[in-house]
Structures are given as structure tokens and as C-alpha cells.
Structure 1
Amino acid sequence: MVYGVREGWRREGFESHEGAVGVLLADGSEPGPVFFDLGSGSTFHESTSWWHYDGEFRRPTAISMRGRCACGWRGAKRYVIDWEKVREDDDPDTYDTSGPYGEWKAHLDDVAGRAVALPKDLAALLGQVRERIDRMWLEDDTTRGYAAMLRVCGALEAIVTETGPEAARALAREHDEAMPAVAEALGMTEKAARTRLLHYEHLAWK
């Protein structure tokens, strides 16, 4: 089972597709954020966490939950919320959210399946580099050890700075028309893909 995760669901490499539990009201609509008056003048805190739609303090009452993603995707299935159980346990993290999570996971599997795959040998090398850098933290916590880590970072940045701008500019030549395809290939939302292209287009080695 999957229980409440307050920080949302994430998958490495697909950060713009963060998932969470979404809710629906009795009329089938999806409510906007809940606002909380923190007693500091005009300052209000807002939340879209599912457990805040419990009907208390004039807040909307959600009757069901479903998976949702930052890209706009919403799960097709609805899962009735047992508010009595939520209140009895007095901790939303103990409430089972396996259904919404499973749908979001399937959505992410689809996103990942349509994204361009890294060459297997390169993906393996990147994994080895990450593991080796992680070991460096354990092997040498002296000044020279930290300096070695920064030299590694510098070497990686040099590679990125040499290849990133050229690839980004090539993709940007057909910017508007090709953006949906570019976003799909990157496994990102279109907004995140545009940000990524702009970042690499103007990247310069310093």
C-alpha cells in the first residue's frame, strides 16, 4: 500500500511531472486551493493537499480522490474518501492512497515510454559516475577530498557546456512548431522544456 506523501510523488528525470492526490467535490468539480488565515494581516497560506478538503471551517468537502499530475493529467478512477477513518486516525499519512498513486505511476510509465531513451552504455556510465562520486564523500572528507569533488564537477560542467548549447539551439530552430514533440522526447511539460532549452542555449563556460 501507498500512504499519504506530503511532498508529492516524483520520479528522477521527470521532475515536471510531479504527482499528488487530487480531490473531487460532490458535483464532480475539482476545487481550487484552500486558503488559511495565519493571523498576520493580509498574509494567507494556500494548500491543495487532499486532507484539507474535509469540510471543516467552511472548507469544501471532497467526496473522492484521484491521481493528478503537474502536467495537467488527471486519473480516470475515483476513490471514495472515508473521512471518519481519516479523523479517527488523526493522521492523513496513514490513509491509503495506493489507487491514485498507481494511476499516476502508470501515467509516468507512459511519459517515460514516449521519452527518448539514453544509449544503454551511456546510461550505465552515468550511473557509475554517480556511484563513484557518492563513494568520494565516504572515502575522503578532507580539504583535498572536497577539492577532488569540485574538479569532477568542473569536468562534467565542461562536457555539458560544450554539447548542451549546440543541441538546444538545433532544437530551438523549430521552436514553436516542434515544442510538443521536444517536450515529449525530453519527458517534460512544454513549459519545462522551454525553460530547459533557454538554459542550455545561453550556457557558457566560466
Structure 2
Amino acid sequence: MQEIQNIENHDGFLTYDYRGHHITLQTSAIYQCQNSALAVEILEYLKEYDYLTFSDKQLLDGLKEAMWAGRFEIVCKQPLMIIDGAHNKEGMEAFYQSARKYSNIKIIFSALKDKDTHAMMELLLKLTDDITVCEFDFYRAQTVEKLAEDFPVKLQKDWHQAIDEAFLHQGVVFITGSLYFLAQVRPYILQYAKKIK
């Protein structure tokens, strides 16, 4: 892969230059630059060997219109709520790199039993000391007690209550961890956000 250049973040959009293209993405997740550049590599390879045909405009429009549900996705604007499926240590590191530019952060977190939640929690605590750990309805979900360990975090078994309280937060709310957790949380937040408009 070639080097990604000139990454800039503008109001929830990322732009960067790659293989002669000036690319715009509907996200502020830095890690999506690498992911989309890989997609460009694959598409250009398929085009070169006549498996696909597309114009540069189609390529750029497709990338600009692409949405990744659950990947640094804004699900509410007042307050700003962003969900991200940082479900392992590497994913949490990528999430951290995008989240650290924000201030007045509140985090709601849950994960599966087989993940390195200790390392994940250490990264989250670099962002804020306002962290709530929750449980969700899935047989592999970790308990709040195990998630919390001895970290200075709040324990709330019922994630619905944690989300309801988060709507009063005056900064940015990140809900992160297991994709199974986000699959339950996302429709709840979207429905709740509609009601309070």
C-alpha cells in the first residue's frame, strides 16, 4: 500500500490523499482512512484486471456516501453520542486515537468475557474518569464486577439506565465495546433521540 497523506478532519468528515485521489469519508474515525485505502487498493486491482469498471468519480462518490454503522457512528447530536465497536484491545487502540481529540467525555462500556478488558479499560481511563460499565443480554457478556475490577468506574447492570442518564451529559458520550452490546444499544438510542427532538 502507498502512504496516506494530508489527513484532515472537518465537522465529522475526514479527507485524505491516496493514489492520486482526494478522498472524503463521512466519519471522524482516523482508522477508517486505512480501511478505505485498502478498499481503494482492492478496487484498483480489480479494475486493472478488468473484473470491474468504474470512473474515478464513482469511486470517490461511493467512498463519500459509505456509512459504517457502529464504527464511530454519531447516533445523537444533542448530546453528541458516538458508538464504536471497539471490541478488542487493537480496536480500542484505534478508537482511542480518534476519541482523544474530544473533551468532557462520558463513556459507557461493555464487553465479552473472552476479551482483554483490563487493557481496554486502561485506554478508556486515559480519555476520562467518567466511565460506566454495563451488562447486556448475551450469554458471553462479561459481568460489571469483572469489567470494573479495581478501576475507578461506575457499575450499572442495566445499560438502559446508563443510556438514559447519559442523555443529560453536557459533553460527548461514547458507547463502546462489544458489537453485540452495540446491536442492542443502537436502536434504543435512535428511538430515544427521536422522542426528545
Structure in which a larger fraction of residues adopt strand? 2
TM superposition score normalised by structure 1: 0.25
Higher CA-based Rg: 1
TM superposition score normalised by structure 2: 0.26
Structure in which a larger fraction of residues adopt helix? 1
